[in-house]
Amino acid sequence: MSLDADRDVGPVAASQLIFAGALIARNASGDLVKGLTATGLAGAGVAVKRCDNSGGSAGDLTVEYSRQTARLANSGAADAIAAAEIDDVCYIVDDQTVAKTDGTGTRSPAGLIAAVDASGVWVRIDETLAALAVA
């Protein structure tokens, strides 16, 4: 069967267990990691399938991912995202959560906020957009 949409596949960093549906990011080496609070990353997409490279080296495995608008969990307290932040950059907390701020320089961009509702934050995840938005 031929493809009917773009498919993105990238190398997974060493010691990573990425779950299907997880927010993933690209590190400075070009490898994909599960979302986490760290600098030097850019939100890349959402993992389509689970990838267990927990015992492997960087690049031993690849993961298929999708650049998309995805619902992620909203951070809490002062870092919670509100409707007023639509079209602003949001930042990676973990593989399912985003925040309004970069946590005083401790978080990397996830993408652009598309919507906010009771279910969470809808984020346009695309590493090119994320990098441009904070440049």
Nearest to 45 by CA among 123, 135, 131: 123
**pLDDT band at 131, cuts 50/70/90?**
confident
pLDDT at residue 128, as a whole number: 83
Q: How far apart are CA 87 and CA 15, in angstroms?
A: 34
Domains of the chain, by residue range, sit at 8-66, 68-134
pLDDT in tens, 17-57: 999 999 999 999 999 999 999 999 999 999 999 999 999 99
Looking at the chain, the whole-number percentage of residues with pLDDT higher than 70 is 94
Longest Cα separation, the chain: 48
**pLDDT band at 135, cuts 50/70/90?**
low
**Is-contact 112 124, C-beta < 8 A?**
yes
pLDDT at residue 126, as a whole number: 85
**pLDDT band at 90, cuts 50/70/90?**
very high
Question: Does the reported pTM lie above 0.95?
Answer: no
Mean pLDDT of 59-88: 96
Q: With 90 as the cut, is the pLDDT of residue 2 above it?
A: no
pLDDT at residue 129, as a whole number: 76
Distance linking the first and last C-alpha atoms of the chain? 40
When the pLDDT of each residue in the chain is averaged and rounded to a whole number, the result is 94
